[in-house]
Structure 1
Amino acid sequence: MLLHLPTSVSEAQECMAQGAVPIGGATLVWATWQRDGFPEQAVSLRNVPEANVMGREVLGAAVVLNRIDGRVPEVLSRAAATVGTGAVRRTATVGGNLVGSTLRCLLPAALVLDARARVLEPDRTYETDLAEVLAKNHLLLSLRWREPVASGYLKLPGEAGGPPPLVVAAAVHADSEERSRLRVAVRDGYEVLSESTAYDADPEQVLRALARTAVGALHATARGAVRRQVTDVLARAADR
């Protein structure tokens, strides 16, 4: 297998045009390739500057998870810190986790940030929503969002060999009219749902509104985790 390491977006596009397969951090695809056979060409974005950015409102797809720190919102840094083992986090990338993994541990955090994706095609780059990225397995270049007022991430303990642990992410955003909105995302098994409602300092009012959405149909453990996380994030938003 020939591994391409382009240093620019244009070079990466040339590799894609030649049929190179995105490799990410290779934590997931390597075992599959060992079983099914390796592609002739692969491409990594690890040396592409646009895929390595990190800040309060941007995160590159080639950033490995153990590099994600307080420069990004809390919901995203905590999500990255809970993925797999230390060895996995030193290799796995943002793009690989979101697009190449069925677990998609970073997805709830990205959803509550209302993140937009910059994707790479052989002849262009463009911005789209996460739903399109996941549906079409786009090559992710970076994520962008507006910094939230407050955010948080809760991951319950999981059973060895069992389904993925329950995850609840939440974030409060101020919109252009100075009103605020709460976004919540829940990963229950392999399914992820997201909902939003108007912000209110009273968590009971917000929770009643969420109960009228798909969140209200979750099982008792999930609803309890949502209550805990929403209450915490609303309290911190009120202090700012």
Structure 2
Amino acid sequence: MLLRLPVSVSEAQECLTEGAVPIGGATLVWAGWQQDGFPDQAMSLRRLPEANVIEREALGAAVVLREIDDRVPEVLRRAAATVGTGAVRRTATVGGNLVGSTLRCLLPAALVLNARAVVLDADRVHETDLAEVLAKRHLLLGLRWREPIVSGYRKLSGEAGGPPPLIVAAAVHADGGRHLLRVAVRDGYEVLSDSIGYDAGTDTEQILNGLQGTTVGTLHAAGWAEVRHHVTELLAAPAGH
């Protein structure tokens, strides 16, 4: 297998045109290749500058999870820190977790940031929403979003070999003269997300009552209890958390 390491977008597009298979951090594809056979060509974006950005409002798809720090919002940093083991986080990438994994621990965090996906096609680079990227398994270059006022992430402990643990992510955004609370929950392999607008100074209980009328409010009782607890803590946190 020939591993190609493009250093420019045009070179990466050439690799795609010639049939190179994107590998991310290879933590998910390697076992499958050992069983089913290796492709003739593979491509890693680890040397492509556009895929290695770490900024307050952008994150590259080739960034290794261990490298994600307080340059990004709290919700993304905490999400990355809970993925797998330390050994996994040293090799797994943002793009691999979002597009290549069935667990997608970063997805709730990306959803509450209302992140847009930057996608590399053989003939162009463009932005789209995460739903399209996941449905069509596009080659992800990175994520972009607007910095929230405050954000947070909670991942419950799970049993080895058991179902994926519940994840709750939330973020508050400025929305004109109001605030917008976005919440996303991974329950098993299903991800629910919704939002609710409110005025500054609105009582937390009133916000929770409104949230309960959204898709997130259809969760089972235990899941809703976790959402309620997490959102209550988040709304009491100082801005910039």
TM-score of the superposition, structure 2-length normalised? Answer: 0.97
The aligned counterpart of 2:191 is: 192
**Could you tell which deviates more after superposition, 210-219 or 114-123?**
210-219
Q: Separation in 1 of the partners of 2:145 and 2:218?
A: 28
Change (3 A) 1:238 1:10: closer
Is the contact made by 1:172 and 1:237 (CA closer than 8 Å) also made in structure 2? no
Is the contact made by 1:53 and 1:60 (CA closer than 8 Å) also made in structure 2? yes
The aligned counterpart of 2:174 is: 174
> Do structure 1's residue 222 and structure 2's residue 214 form an aligned pair?
no
Query: What stretches of structure 2 of length at least 5 have no aligned partner?
Result: none
- Aligned-pair CA distance for 1:232: 1.1
The aligned counterpart of 2:62 is: 62
The aligned counterpart of 1:131 is: 131
- Aligned-pair CA distance for 1:237: 5.0
Give SS of 2:237's match. Answer: helix
- The amino acid that maps onto 2:208 is L
**Could you tell which deviates more after superposition, 77-86 or 230-239?**
230-239
Give SS of 1:102's match. Answer: coil
Query: What stretches of structure 1 of length at least 5 have no aligned partner?
Result: none
Change (3 A) 1:239 1:21: closer
Q: Separation in 2 of the partners of 1:49 and 1:152?
A: 28
- The amino acid that maps onto 1:227 is R
> Do structure 1's residue 73 and structure 2's residue 70 form an aligned pair?
no
> Do structure 1's residue 148 and structure 2's residue 148 form an aligned pair?
yes
- The amino acid that maps onto 1:49 is P
- Aligned-pair CA distance for 1:221: 1.4
TM-score of the superposition, structure 1-length normalised? Answer: 0.97
Give SS of 1:195's match. Answer: strand
Q: How does 1:1-240 map to 2 (within 5 A)?
A: 1-175=1-175, 177-199=176-198, 201-236=202-237
- Aligned-pair CA distance for 1:199: 3.2
Is the contact made by 1:54 and 1:71 (CA closer than 8 Å) also made in structure 2? yes
Q: Separation in 2 of the partners of 1:234 and 1:25?
A: 35
Give SS of 2:87's match. Answer: helix
Is the contact made by 1:50 and 1:141 (CA closer than 8 Å) also made in structure 2? yes
- The amino acid that maps onto 2:109 is A
Give SS of 1:146's match. Answer: coil
- Aligned-pair CA distance for 1:64: 0.2
Aligned length: 239
Q: Separation in 2 of the partners of 1:186 and 1:114?
A: 14
Q: C-alpha root-mean-square deviation of aligned residues, in Å?
A: 1.2
Is the contact made by 1:172 and 1:199 (CA closer than 8 Å) also made in structure 2? no
The list of structure 1 runs, each at least 4 consecutive aligned residues, that deviate by more than 6 angstroms after superposition, is none
Q: Separation in 2 of the partners of 1:88 and 1:238?
A: 32
**Could you tell which deviates more after superposition, 149-158 or 227-236?**
227-236
